Amino acid sequence: MSSATAAEAPISRRAARKLAKSTVRAEARKEAAQRAIGYVRVSTEEQAESGFGLDVQERAIRAFALSQGYELVDVIADRGVSGASRPMDREGFSRLVAVAKRERASVLLLWKFDRLARHMIFAVVAVDELREKHGMQIRSVTEAIDTATPMGEMVFGVLAGMAGMERKAIVERTIGGRKAKAGDGGFAGGAAPLGYRRDLAGGLAVDEEEAETVRRASELREAGSTLQAIADTLTAEGRRTKRGGRWHPGTVSYLLDNQKYLGRIEYAFEADGVSTVINRPGEHEPILKRAAEGDAA
C-alpha cells in the first residue's frame, strides 16, 4: 500500500485560507496599480517666468495616464506654493494622500520630480512616506522615472540631489544680491514698513498719512509714555497698523525699534551658518528727523 507524498497531500484548511487571502490581496494590489492620482504645483514666480503653469502640467499627466492605461482618479493642485516647503505641509498634497487612500490609487503621477520638492531631504522623505505608509509609487511623466524599480529609485536620488543644489544656488544668489543692495544703502526687500511705500525703483518713499502715526508714536515715547499707553492712545485716535489692526505694546515696540525711520538700512543675513548684519545710512528719507541730525553730528 503506497502512501501519498508531501507534494500530493491535501493542504490544510488554514493554509487554504491563507492562500485565498493572498490571492485577494494580490488582485487588490493589481487593481490599485492601475489607479493613479496626479499632483501639480507651481509657485507664482515659476508660472510668471517659465509659463509651465498648472494647466500645462495637468495636460501632460492626463496624456501620460491615457497612454499607460491608468485610471486617473483625480489631479490635485497646490497653486502658488514654493518647492522649498515640505510636501506634507501643503494643503493640496495633504488632501492628495486622503483621496488616494479613498480611491485606492497606488500611483502618483508628477510632471517632474521637482514638483514634489526642491530640497532633497524633503523629496526623499516624501517618497519614502508615500511608499511605506501608503503603498504608493511615484512616476515622473516627463522624466521616465518610476520609483517602483531600483533604477528609477537611483535616478530619483540623483535628480533630487540636483534639485537641492539648484535651490541652494538660487538662495545664495538671492541673498548675495540683497546683501549687495543693503551694503549700498538700498532697500533690500521685505514689506515696506508703516510710513513708507515702495517706489517705482524698488526703494522706499514716505507715505505722509502713515508717517504721522510713526511720528505720533515717537513723540509719545519721548514724553515718557509706556508701550501700553502708546498703543491705547494710537487706537483711541483711530490710527491703525500697517495691516489695519489695533495697536498692542509689541507692535509699538517693533515700530519704535525700526532703524528705517531713522534713515538707516538694517538687515541680518544668514547663510551656511554665518550671520552678517548690515546697518548703515540708507538712500531713503527718514521719517524721524532726529536721525539726520544725529548723523550730521
Q: Cα(161)–Cα(112) distance, rounded to whole angstroms? A: 14
List 43, 85, 140, 225, catalytic entry: 43
What three-state secondary structure class fits 57?
A: helix
Edge to edge, the sheet with strand 107-110 lists 71-79, 35-42, 107-110, 137-140, 145-146
Which ranges of 104-149 does DSSP label H, i.e. alpha helix?
120-134
At position 63, the amino acid (one-letter code) is A
Long-range contacts of residues 174-177, Cβ cutoff 8 Å, at least 24 apart = 175/269, 175/271
Residues 6+ apart with CB under 8 A from 275: 268, 269
What nine digits make up the cell of 292? 539726520
Quick check: is 43 catalytic? yes
Q: What distance in Å separates the CA atoms of residue 151 and residue 178, rounded to the nearest whole number?
A: 41
CB 54 within 8 A of CB 40: yes
User: What is the identity of the amino acid at 215?
Assistant: R
CA of residue 154 relative to chain centroid, distance? 25
- Where in the sequence numbering do the catalytic residues fall? 43
